[in-house]
Structure 1
Amino acid sequence: MKKLVNEPKAVVRQMLEGFVALAPGQVLLDDETVVIRSDTPADPRQRKVSVISGGGSGHEPAHAGYVGAGMLDAAVAGDVFTSPSTDAVLAAIRAVSGPAGSLLVVKNYTGDRLNFGLAAELARAEGIPVEVVVVADDVALRDTVEPSRRRGIAGTVLVHKVAGAAAAAGLPLSDVLREAQAASAELGTMGVALGPCTVPAAGRPGFTLGDEEIELGLGIHGEQGVRRAQLQSADALVDTLLAAIVEDRRLATGARVALLVNGLGGTPPMELAIVTRRALAVLRERGLRVERAWSGTFLSALEMPGCSLSLLKVDDTLLTRLDAKTSAPAWGGEGRLAPERAPRPVTAAPSVSSAPAAKSPGMEKVHAAALAVASAFEASESRLTELDSAAGDGDLGISLSRGAAAIRALPESAWTNPSRALTSIGEALRRAIGGSSGPFYATALLRAARRLSEGPVDAPAWAEAFVLAVDAVANLGGAKPGDRTMLDALRPAADTFAQALKTGKSPAEAWAACVREAEQGADATARMQPRLGRASYLGSRALGVPDAGAAAVVVWVKALTPFIG
């Protein structure tokens, strides 16, 4: 187990100390793992209705992240995935409650219900009015247990917001309870996990998944879901989750909803944004009005990769509560959506006209050669990705695959003469490939294209264009042979091709020598200390693996072999 912890038994206290140190609006009680608002009136008679929640730790930013004006007055933290003790809950009630009373927001787990429920009874015996709302929003269990026994999961955060806003508005306890219950009754959530998480005290994952397996309908405590399935695309998973929620909640066309896209702890914002995009599209296709939406990590399961989707059917009252201001540090903001916009048309590059033009002789072979390079890039994607991941950022394979698609998409008018073809390919690669490969290849091809526009296009002209293209790459990147870059394959290949032609070799023989030099140059990079690019950050750790950029050069020079001569 690799985690940034000290002692597993100290995790919760030390975590809360770190949270509160950065939250001026919060205070951590000395003797309990309870976080309260720092502006809680000392005189209980001055306190409004307080809203309290909590549960096991490992769900961060829940629950302490929602302590603030307009949300929770206190959060009670238990050990990781373990309900807090009755005494801790009672300490929270005493710390923030007064004659106006308290509402406890409890997720529907046995330990939470028992400990929060007993604390409520003890507080009532002390004269503190206490009510409890139990959240059971997990629609994945709709075919397994009765509704009252479903788990409470990420949608609970929306109940925190509604109840906290109602209390902040000065409503009596009975009305705060009524609004929280109304929100809970209109709430549905379902999650998917791409992998397990590891509880610090256990030291091992709660379950195992194959490379192509996922868990659908899991809870928030590292447990397995209701069923295991094969890995699917993000869009397909979103469709599955939303279909279950919409069906269970009986959301009809025209219904107004709020959407919560929640990461389970190990899901990057990139993937959550992709999920959000699809979720909004599906809901709109179903005729639902998405009034508010949030995306982020709101209630996690340690480092579990995956997400959950929550839908809350709203009316004007609930929407007012969701829109109310809060100082809780983990709340996701206003949740307002950008207006729907029509997609902008993609305009073609002005340099490549679709108008017909006369073709130079041999352009069918040039076109076929370019398509062969595209096929070679696509076939080599996984290998180039593997090489680039070992000493770079891992994007070369997919970048060149995008470049291949751009080459295939060029119009027929791009293939009228060699100079125009190379210019068109260069511009296509510039637009399609990010990172460093796009500018390098575009610059090289544009430089070569200029040379081919200056006179007859024969083998020596192609050779000179190749040398000039390599010069352009060297000038742009500042590299030289021996630096462990694509130049270690490019420079010997171009120089050998040109020299072999000058000594009387046929183009086919000269190109065969060129390919051999490219291969030897690429192989040699495995023994070179990197001096430029991301590999230079690794130093000697990059040794033993050929440079991916040099390996890519070998891919395309070999692909051109059948067309030379």
Structure 2
Amino acid sequence: MKKLVNDPSLVVREMLEGIARTVPHVAVLGDENVLVRNPLPGAAARTVAVISGGGSGHEPAHGGYVGQGMLSAAVCGEVFTSPSTDAVLAAIRASAGPNGALLVVKNYTGDRLNFGLAAELARAEGIPVEIVVVADDVSLRGHTERNQRRGIAGTVLVHKIAGAAAARGDALDLVAAIARSAAANLGTMGVALDGCTLPGAEQAGFRLADDEIELGMGIHGEKGVERTTPMTASELTQTLLASIVEDLALKSGERVALLVNGLGATPTMELAIVMRDAFESLSQRDVVVERAWTGTFLSALNMPGCSISVLRLDDARLALLDAKTEAHAWPGVGTVNRQIRIEPAFPAAHTRAEAGATPADPASVAWTRRLKPALDAVAHALIENEALFTDLDSRAGDGDLGASMHRAAQAILAVPQGALDSPGSALAALSTTLRRAIAGSSGPFYATALLRASRTLGDTAQPGAQDWAAAMRGAAEAISELGGAKPGDRTMLDALVPAADALENALKSGRPVAEAWAQAVSAAESGAKSTERMTPRAGRASYLGARAIGTPDGGAVVVACWLKALQPHIGAG
């Protein structure tokens, strides 16, 4: 497994040194794998020290939460391994003053033993120490007592609340009581989409098949409570939240904080979707989300998946969550945006059909009857070839061409018939439709080409074959002007320009329209195939250089596809 590490046995130490290099208010404690606030006030002036930690591999936990208003120290064991008693004791000695220390411990045997023994040793030295154990994994509620459950991502919320209480000067017993109360009103459940890989390991500790996910997954790769088939984000979110809400016995009208946490390899995009669905799910239950955060807060190395944490709120907890902290990994006040959509200041222009007008004259009706089936044929051809477009684009680009053309097809099928009452208006409507529907570079190219073609036809009520040929030529020129490419650069122009040339030449030589169009299609297909031998000089494929040779350009193949789809409808009426 490829990793950006030096010596696997030194990853924790080197990671801590890297963190400290860019976070001025933390430092590594001697030879221990401990991050501490730096500087700390003199011992007599120190408030209660809040200390946490555990095995490494959960970053940004725990070192990312060291700072005024959160943790005083983070004790970092080897990857997925509890820190030693001596390391915990060193952290207590370094950060605690007469007001003592609170240890926030995730409920794992190794952590409980080593933090617990360190607490006893510190007490023997005269340092007051309290321990709060977080056991927020609700997935185990049907198998174990609450005090035997695992501690997972919700622990970060306990860090924040305890750290804020300590920072404002609360006594040790009160800080401990506040933290225990928060832990008792906290529920978390996670899901893994696949395993994770430890530094130095050749492969993941476990693997899930493409048709499997693990519900209730722990943060060290421990098995969950159920292996099941994949779900949509909405279904999965509902499943996780149902367990949390039931365990916390949340009732209508209650207030909560919501934390959507990535396990290390989950894109921000997917976490945001889970946040959307979680917020909606809680709102439907009439549970008020007062604060919400999305991101990676407590990971499991490179595991794909996420967890959802819900903390019951009252005014006191809310104030502690809102309190300032300098901890660099805490994202700040999780203000909820309750109005996420506004209407545009200038509503989009509507076609006559969208405004309710319908074509009345026979010519308009005739054009609608001719254009609608032709455009539908194009749309169906794009849908049928989606996999081909995706494959071609994946070899030389980012693989989104198939999806873009599928969206284009759906948009074409949805064009109102009233917009097709004349050639010029039809092309203009298609330009607007595809501009909005297609992402990436294809959208602007097709929108510009169609707009130029529409302007070329103008208000001509009955354009002839030469007019359509001029419109195709104008479309090709518009694409070249917009993107700066020309034939030979391995782009869509390598199909479109030969097609325009063939159509013009065939019409000039007196060929029937249907035959002229067939020659244009053949030229486009030959042009698209010729791109296999071209070194790309424009677009994203140009970054590949000669590596792109051997595969035709996807954009050129798309042009040949829709030209071919139009062929049965050209010269037929």
**TM superposition score category, shorter chain reference:** over 0.9
Cα separation, 1, equivalents of 2:323 and 2:308: 22
Out of 545, 560, 566, the residue aligned to residue 560 of structure 1 is: 566
- 2:459 is the counterpart of 1:459: no
- The one-letter code sitting in structure 1 at the alignment partner of 2:538 is L
Cα separation, 1, equivalents of 2:502 and 2:298: 61
- The one-letter code sitting in structure 2 at the alignment partner of 1:484 is R
In the alignment, what sits opposite 2:392?
387
Cα separation, 1, equivalents of 2:340 and 2:113: 50
Out of 373, 376, 379, the residue aligned to residue 371 of structure 1 is: 376
Aligned partners of 2:49 and 2:102 also within 8 Å: yes
**Corresponding residue SS for 1:281:** helix
- 2:33 is the counterpart of 1:27: no
| CA offset digits 1:182-216 (Å, max 9, x no partner) | 00000000111222110113331021122232221
Aligned residues: 564
Cα separation, 1, equivalents of 2:55 and 2:352: 61
Cα separation, 2, equivalents of 1:129 and 1:29: 21
Aligned partners of 2:68 and 2:167 also within 8 Å: yes
For residue 236 of structure 1, report the CA deviation from its aligned partner: 1.4
Q: How does 1:399-410 map to 2 (within 5 A)?
A: 399-410=404-415
Q: Give the TM-score, by structure 1 length.
A: 0.97
- 2:562 is the counterpart of 1:538: no
In the alignment, what sits opposite 1:163?
162
Cα separation, 2, equivalents of 1:485 and 1:364: 33
Cα separation, 2, equivalents of 1:322 and 1:430: 44
- The one-letter code sitting in structure 2 at the alignment partner of 1:402 is R
| CA offset digits 1:371-396 (Å, max 9, x no partner) | 11111222222221222122112222
Q: How does 1:472-491 map to 2 (within 5 A)?
A: 472-491=478-497
| CA offset digits 1:334-385 (Å, max 9, x no partner) | 1111233566389553344431123153431211111111112222222212
Cα separation, 2, equivalents of 1:407 and 1:461: 23
For residue 486 of structure 1, report the CA deviation from its aligned partner: 0.4
In the alignment, what sits opposite 2:12?
12
In the alignment, what sits opposite 1:333?
332
Cα separation, 1, equivalents of 2:199 and 2:433: 50
Q: How does 1:35-434 map to 2 (within 5 A)?
A: 35-41=35-41, 43-340=42-339, 344=343, 347-353=347-353, 354-357=356-359, 358=361, 359=364, 361-434=366-439
Q: Which moved more, 1:451-460 or 1:489-498?
A: 451-460
**Corresponding residue SS for 1:378:** helix
- The one-letter code sitting in structure 2 at the alignment partner of 1:17 is E
Unaligned runs of 5+ in 1: none
Cα separation, 2, equivalents of 1:222 and 1:202: 14
| CA offset digits 1:266-316 (Å, max 9, x no partner) | 112222111111111111111011111111111111111111110000111
- Structure 2 vs 1, CA of residues 356 and 454 (structure 1 numbering), >3 Å: closer, same or farther? closer
- The one-letter code sitting in structure 2 at the alignment partner of 1:22 is T
| CA offset digits 1:501-533 (Å, max 9, x no partner) | 222322222222222221111111121111011
Unaligned runs of 5+ in 2: none
Cα separation, 2, equivalents of 1:524 and 1:143: 64
Q: Which moved more, 1:73-82 or 1:354-363?
A: 354-363
For residue 78 of structure 1, report the CA deviation from its aligned partner: 0.5
Aligned partners of 1:207 and 1:223 also within 8 Å: no
In the alignment, what sits opposite 1:550?
556
- 2:441 is the counterpart of 1:436: yes
Q: Give the TM-score, by structure 2 length.
A: 0.96
**Corresponding residue SS for 1:224:** coil
Cα separation, 1, equivalents of 2:494 and 2:143: 62
Cα separation, 2, equivalents of 1:449 and 1:380: 27
- The one-letter code sitting in structure 2 at the alignment partner of 1:487 is L
For residue 122 of structure 1, report the CA deviation from its aligned partner: 1.1
When the two chains are superposed, the root-mean-square deviation of aligned CA atoms in Å is 1.6
Aligned partners of 2:352 and 2:358 also within 8 Å: no
Aligned partners of 2:62 and 2:76 also within 8 Å: yes
